């Protein structure tokens, strides 16, 4: 199914999104009316939306779950549930299935994206999420950090940022496949992950690489990606690469990629997946 045919909404987030307790001056958006979780709430239907938080990726799921309960409550949300899945068997339980069927929004936390795919990928709740995302208007799947990276089919599972221009430095794994056209990396600016996405796109040049800065996300709907939050999204388009030696190199060898197209997008800018086209927010327009 093409992105233009999908009826639901996907919101990948670059990690460290404002949860209403941020005292840093670098995040300048007002939490209640402009922050990323505000957009998640609004896309899901507003204050009455049923939001299910899944902290499976986290090593401290209880604490993470409480943080999201507090953040969404600060936004006026009255119906927020934490679904703490710690093994595959729990993904097949009736309570889990019922919650995924009833939710307006699924919110995946950060942590280790492989935990999400190992404990949820291919299970009944994963299949329900995918079916609802493809066929239901207003159904939202959001995810931050690991939760965003797991949305793709070809998923970055690990790899050193400093070594990632060398063949084999990036580890790939199968993700949940909500948006198979993309490869997503997070904490992108803060952790210097340009090389990770470059190698990932060299491995899969037919896919688009999205590098999301912290407190930055994209609302993906009908094949259109709208940038939200206070940072940048870096888009890597390998469709016009003229030289790519990834397939012939030994592991550990520095790579060469020529004519890799890179776009830098920020709040209010758009990217159209099928057309591989940028739509820039007009200078006179307000931020989102």
- Of the residues 17, 154, 199, 214, only one is catalytic, namely 214
66 is a catalytic site residue: no
| DSSP conformation letters of 175-227 | ---SSTTEEEE-STTTTT-HHHHHHHHHHSTTSEEEEEPTTEEEEEETTEEEE
- Of the residues 91, 109, 145, 230, only one is catalytic, namely 145
CA nearest to 241, candidates 272, 276, 286:
276
Count of CB atoms situated within 10 Å of the CB of 233: 27
- Of the residues 187, 198, 199, 246, only one is catalytic, namely 187
| DSSP conformation letters of 13-66 | E-S----S----TT--S-HHHHSHHHHHHHHHTSTT-EEEEE-TT-SSHHHHHH
Q: Left if phi > 0, otherwise alpha if psi is -120 to 50, otherwise beta: which for 52?
A: beta
27 is a catalytic site residue: no
214 is a catalytic site residue: yes
Give 78: exposed, middle or buried? Use CB within 10 Å, 0-12, 13-18, 19+: exposed
Count of CB atoms situated within 10 Å of the CB of 277: 12
Give 128: exposed, middle or buried? Use CB within 10 Å, 0-12, 13-18, 19+: middle
Provide the 8-state DSSP code for 2: -
Q: Which residues are catalytic?
A: 145, 187, 214
């Amino acid at each position: 199914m093409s992105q233009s045919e999908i009826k639901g909404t996907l919101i990948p987030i670059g990690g460290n999104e404002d949860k209403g307790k941020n005292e840093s001056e670098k995040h300048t958006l007002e939490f209640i009316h402009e922050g990323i979780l505000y957009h998640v709430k609004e896309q899901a239907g507003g204050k009455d939306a049923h939001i299910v938080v899944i902290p499976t990726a986290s090593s401290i799921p209880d604490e993470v779950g409480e943080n999201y309960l507090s953040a969404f409550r600060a936004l006026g949300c009255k119906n927020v549930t934490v679904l703490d899945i710690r093994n595959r068997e729990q993904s097949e339980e009736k309570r889990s299935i019922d919650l995924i069927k009833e939710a307006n929004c699924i919110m995946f936390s950060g942590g280790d994206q492989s935990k999400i795919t190992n404990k949820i990928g291919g299970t009944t709740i994963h299949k329900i999420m995918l079916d609802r995302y493809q066929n239901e208007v207003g159904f939202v799947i959001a995810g931050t950090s690991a939760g965003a990276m797991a949305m793709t089919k070809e998923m970055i599972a690990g790899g050193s940022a400093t070594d990632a221009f060398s063949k084999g430095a990036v580890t790939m794994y199968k993700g949940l496949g909500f948006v198979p056209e993309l490869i997503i990396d997070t904490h992108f600016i803060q952790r210097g992950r340009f090389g990770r996405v470059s190698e990932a796109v060299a491995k899969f040049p037919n896919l688009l690489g999205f590098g999301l800065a912290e407190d930055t996300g994209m609302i993906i709907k009908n094949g259109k990606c709208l940038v939200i939050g206070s940072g940048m999204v870096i888009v890597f388009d390998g469709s016009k690469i003229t030289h790519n030696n990834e397939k012939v190199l030994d592991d550990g060898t520095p790579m060469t990629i020529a004519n890799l197209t890179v776009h830098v997008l920020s709040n209010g800018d758009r990217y159209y997946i099928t057309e591989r086209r940028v739509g820039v927010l007009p200078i006179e327009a307000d931020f989102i």
